[in-house]
């Protein structure tokens, strides 16, 4: 995946808190905090036993100056953080053209932990979207963990898939899907929790299908798509359970199996639309 050299990046879509220290840190889990967030939305915020206490404290320290360092597509081709800025710009450009009434959402870069509208979070939770402040949060060190801990091949598009997935949750929030899903706290291959995640995978595939047309990305190759599918595979519930527990328990799934995640990404990538990505309308996912 390469960016158009002269593409103009908009780093204002990112709030860079790297090097800043939150007043309190808590939480835990794997990629995507959406299940925890749904608990917060369902009345669990402010000390509701979720593992996150609403922060409210300021962050100390100083962030970096992306505005001076990430200005063109060539910067995105040269620097990892600028590449993620370019992906965010592309994803949001796509949804502004695709979804009526789309409201941009910032991404927050942080290191170690940060305060969010959903509470204080540590890097251990992985990338996540908080619907209470409509922001995506990511410690960029997660991408190294994706390779070393989860065994992904990595690559620029694998990283882009993660960001596009989280913006898929933002689209779900704008469509009211997250509020619908919060009514159920079930788990398992056909659960609301899994359907939320698979819909976000499908929406990320939709972006991938139109990524070049946004004007930021020069090309996506079949190897790029394979890297994205590989990333989707390694964070499947079955794959993670096999690695961490030595056995697979489908009834406890909250994100979907490797096969489900790959299949729904491809549903979006192969020309799917919002209706086709609505996993809550599907009899089985």
Q: How confident is the model over 174-195, as pLDDT tens digits?
A: 999 998 777 778 899 999 999 9
Domain count, the chain: 1
How much helix, strand and coil, in percent to the nearest 5, is found in the chain? 50, 10, 40
Structural domain for 179, as ranges: 2-281
Positive or negative, the CA dihedral 191, 196, 199, 204 is: negative
**CA distance linking residue 45 with residue 227, whole number of Å:** 36
| Confidence grade of residue 64 (pLDDT, cut at 50, 70, 90) | low
pTM above 0.85, yes or no: yes
Q: What does each C-alpha distance from 110 to 53, 59, 126, 165, 241 come to in angstroms?
A: 18, 11, 11, 18, 27
pLDDT digits (tens, 9 = 90+) for 237-280: 999 999 999 999 999 999 999 999 999 999 999 988 999 999 99
Task: Please state the length of the chain.
Answer: 285
Residue of 138, 88, 81 lying closest to 110 (CA atoms): 138
């Amino acid at each position: 995946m390469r960016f158009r050299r002269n593409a103009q990046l908009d780093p204002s879509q990112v709030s860079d808190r790297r090097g800043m220290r939150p007043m309190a840190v808590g939480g835990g889990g794997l990629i995507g905090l959406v299940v925890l967030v749904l608990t917060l939305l369902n009345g669990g915020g402010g000390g509701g036993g979720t593992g996150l206490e609403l922060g409210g404290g300021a962050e100390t320290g100083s962030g970096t100056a992306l505005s001076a360092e990430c200005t063109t597509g060539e910067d995105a081709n040269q620097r990892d953080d600028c590449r993620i800025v370019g992906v965010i710009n592309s994803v949001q450009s796509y949804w502004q053209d695709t979804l009526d009434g789309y409201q941009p959402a910032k991404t927050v870069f942080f290191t170690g932990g940060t305060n969010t509208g959903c509470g204080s979070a540590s890097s251990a939770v992985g990338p996540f979207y908080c619907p209470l402040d409509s922001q995506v949060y990511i410690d960029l060190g997660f991408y190294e963990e994706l390779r070393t801990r989860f065994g992904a091949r990595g690559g620029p598009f694998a990283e882009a898939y993660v960001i596009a997935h989280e913006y898929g949750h933002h689209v779900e929030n704008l469509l009211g899907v997250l509020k619908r899903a919060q009514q159920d706290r079930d788990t398992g291959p056909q659960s609301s929790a899994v359907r939320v995640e698979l819909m976000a995978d499908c929406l990320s595939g939709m972006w991938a299908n139109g990524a070049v047309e946004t004007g930021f990305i020069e090309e996506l190759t079949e190897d790029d798509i394979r890297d994205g599918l590989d990333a989707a595979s390694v964070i499947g519930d079955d794959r993670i359970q096999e690695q961490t527990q030595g056995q697979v328990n489908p009834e406890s799934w909250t994100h979907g199996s490797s096969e489900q995640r790959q299949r729904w990404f491809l549903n979006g990538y192969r020309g799917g639309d919002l209706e086709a990505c609505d996993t809550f309308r599907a009899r089985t996912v």
